[in-house]
Amino acid sequence: MGFKRKDPRLQPSTLVREAWRVFCLLLCLLCLSGCLSSVLYHPVPELRGTPADVGLSYESVYLGTVDGKRLGAWWIPSGAPRGVLLYCHGNGGNISALLDSIRVYNRLGLDLFVFDYRGYGESSGSPSEQGLYRDVEAAWNYLEQIRRIDPQKIVVFGWSLGGPVAAWISQKHRPGALILEGAFTSLQDAARDRVPGFFVTLFIPDQYPTKRYVARVQSPVLIIHSRDDEVMPFHHGEALFAAARGAKQLLVIRGSHNRGFLDSQYEISIHSFLSEVLGQKKEE
C-alpha cells in the first residue's frame, strides 16, 4: 500500500511561518500609521542661536492659539522693508535653524516673522496637522491685528512641511504672494515615493493636501524646487505649479533639499518675483 506525499505548503510549520510573516507586515504597517507623528515631526526644544548671531536685530514674540498653546516667535525688522515674510519652517529643528535663510530674506528687503509650531523650540504642546494650522493662523492674526500689516504686503513662505501650512493659510486669507520651496503635493503622495501605493492608501492618512490648497489660492504663487532634491522628488514641485490657478512662476534650482537655497539663481529670481508682487526694494 502506497502513501501519499503531503504537500509541504500545507504543513503546519509552513502555514505558521507564512501567517507570522503576514502578521509582522501588518504590525509594521499599523505601527507606521499609529506612530506617524514620531516619523513626521522632529522638533528640537533648545534654541541654538538667534538673529543677533548673524548681525540682525530682532524681537522675541509669544503667540497664543485658539486652543491655548503658547508659541515662540521672532520679529526681525529690515531697514527699509517692502513687505513682510511669514515663514513656515519644515518638520525638523526649530526657528534657530533658519538663520541662513533669514539673512537671505532680510537682504531682499523684507521684515520677517518666523514662528515655531507647537512642540518646537519654546512652543508648548505637541505637533499635529490641525495644530499646525491653528499655529499659522495665530501668526497671521499677529501680523494683521497686532502689527497692522496690510495683507497685500504679506508674503507667506512654506518650506518642506511648511508648504501645506503656508498654502492652507493662503487659501483661507489672501496674502500678497505665496512661495513654496521643496514642498510635497500631499502626505500620501510623498509616502508613495517610498512605499507601494496599496499600503499607503490603507495606512497613511490623507493629510497635508498641499496641491488641493494651492488650487484655491488667489494670490501670485512662486514654486521653488530643486531637480536634485533627494527628499521630495522634483515631480512634486511640477505638480504644485500645475495646480496653481492664477499668476504663477516655477523656479528650478540645483542642490539638496536642505541646501538648495545656496543656488546662484535663488536670490536673484526671488528678488525678481518680489519686485512684481510688492514693488522694488526700497533703498535705505
Q: pTM of the prediction?
A: 0.86
Domain count, the chain: 1
Greater confidence, 148 or 10?
148
**pLDDT surpassing 70 at residue 212:** yes
pLDDT band (50, 70, 90) for residue 8: very low
H helix or E strand, kind and range, residue 27: helix 12-34
- Domain containing residue 51: 44-278
Report pLDDT for 193.
Answer: 85
Q: Which three cell numbers stand for residue 133?
A: 494650522
| 11-21 per-position pLDDT tens digit | 555 555 655 55
Is the residue at 31 inside a domain? no
H helix or E strand, kind and range, residue 20: helix 12-34
Is the residue at 67 inside a domain? yes
Q: Among all chains, which residue has been given the C-alpha cell 526644544?
A: 45
Is the residue at 121 inside a domain? yes
Is the residue at 2 inside a domain? no
Question: Alpha-carbon distance 221 to 214, whole Å?
Answer: 8
**pLDDT surpassing 90 at residue 107:** yes
Is the residue at 241 inside a domain? yes
The contacts of residue 176 (CB under 8 Å, 6+ apart) are 83, 151, 152, 153, 154, 155, 219, 220, 277, 278
Is the residue at 29 inside a domain? no
- The CATH number of the domain holding residue 252 is 3.40.50.1820
**pLDDT surpassing 50 at residue 219:** yes
Mean pLDDT calculated for residue range 263-281 = 90
Is the residue at 20 inside a domain? no
Is the residue at 109 inside a domain? yes
pLDDT band (50, 70, 90) for residue 5: very low
